[in-house]
Amino acid sequence: GENVEQHPSTLSVQEGDSAVIKCTYSDSASNYFPWYKQELGKRPQLIIDIRSNVGEKKDQRIAVTLNKTAKHFSLHITETQPEDSAVYFCAASRGSGTYKYIFGTGTRLKVLA
């Protein structure tokens, strides 16, 4: 069935270091891959996304890479700051007019000052 695996479940980095979170999806029909950040007690917020026709996308300190052959996609955060501390979720979705997202189980990122 449809499944998204996400690793690691927790990640601690020193402020200024980089953080990488990896996801693997099972549904080869998936073509849209968003990443959400959820701070404690708040709603998930979309931070970056990538479509299957693109291999990499950057937005300031955040980047996402996609390897369709291996069904892997990753979130890269450079120069981490304490405010980056949150739970990050990856997701995969098919096209064809559906918004059904399959989410990974989340990564709790702690940026240590």
Partner 1 sequence: KAGVTQTPRYLIKTRGQQVTLSCSPISGHRSVSWYQQTPGQGLQFLFEYFSETQRNKGNFPGRFSGRQFSNSRSEMNVSTLELGDSALYLCASSLNPGQGLREQYFGPGTRLTVT
Q: How far is the CB of 23 from partner 1 (least distance, A)?
A: 12
Which residue lies nearer to partner 1 by CB, 14 or 28? 28
Q: Which amino acid is at 113?
A: A
Which residue lies nearer to partner 1 by CB, 38 or 78? 38
Q: Are 62 and 75 in contact (CB under 8 A)?
A: yes
Q: Is residue 89 classed as helix, strand or coil in its secondary structure?
A: strand
Residue 98 structure tokens? 């559906």
Q: How far is the CB of 63 from partner 1 (least distance, A)?
A: 18
Binding site for partner 1 (CB under 8 A): 32, 34, 36, 42-46, 49, 51, 89, 91, 93, 97-106
Q: Which residues contact 40 (CB under 8 A, 6 or more apart)?
A: 86
Q: How far is the CB of 43 from partner 1 (least distance, A)?
A: 4
